[in-house]
């Protein structure tokens, strides 16, 4: 069963990120245990445009990968038992290729598919595109940490 049009208020329940690092504006489709399709509106008001090639506005590739990882995190939270007990942390990116830039005015479409999901880690295949053209693609590996263990580190 696919959920549609998950808006920012609900996204913030799943992701701990906040401005300026929340990079998912809307979930368009989600199939728990399988895949997600999410949207990021790239605007000229983004703070990174002030210092990242200020004369030629390009969204940093690392933030494109982060946006895909955030969408993947939402997918994982919808795919595991007791998601409120886990914390999704990016561990590794592999085979990432950047095909074209993302610029202000673009709508970055992010997709992620679960390749492997275990108790303590997951492997996702992700992609970002604009108008059907691939911007970036690659594999994302994330650790699933227990929130209780993180709270005990103080």
Residues 6+ apart with CB under 8 A from 150: 87
Rounded to 5 degrees, what angle do the CA atoms 109, 88, 101 make? 30
| Runs of H (alpha helix) within the chain | 8-14, 61-77, 147-151
Known catalytic residue at 84: no
Radius of gyration of the chain from its Cα atoms, rounded to whole angstroms? 15
What residues form DSSP beta bridges with 109? 39, 129
> Catalytic: which of 17, 52, 78, 84?
52
Neighbours of 97 (CB within 10 A): 11
Contact of 103 with 128, CB cutoff 8 Å? no
Catalytic residue IDs: 52
């Amino acid at each position: 069963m696919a959920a549609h049009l998950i808006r920012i208020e609900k996204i913030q329940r799943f992701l701990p990120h906040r401005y300026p690092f929340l990079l998912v504006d809307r979930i368009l489709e989600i199939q728990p245990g399988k895949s997600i399709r999410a949207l990021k509106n790239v605007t000229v008001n983004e703070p990174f445009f002030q210092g990242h090639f200020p004369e030629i506005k390009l969204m940093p590739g690392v933030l494109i990968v982060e946006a895909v990882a955030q969408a993947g995190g939402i997918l994982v939270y919808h795919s595991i038992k007791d998601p409120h007990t886990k914390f999704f942390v990016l561990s590794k990116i592999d085979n990432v290729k950047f095909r074209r830039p993302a610029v202000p005015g673009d709508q970055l479409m992010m997709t992620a598919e679960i390749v492997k999901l275990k108790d303590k880690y997951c492997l996702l295949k992700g992609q970002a595109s604009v108008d059907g053209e691939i911007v970036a693609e690659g594999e994302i590996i994330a650790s699933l940490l227990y929130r209780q263990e993180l709270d005990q580190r103080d």
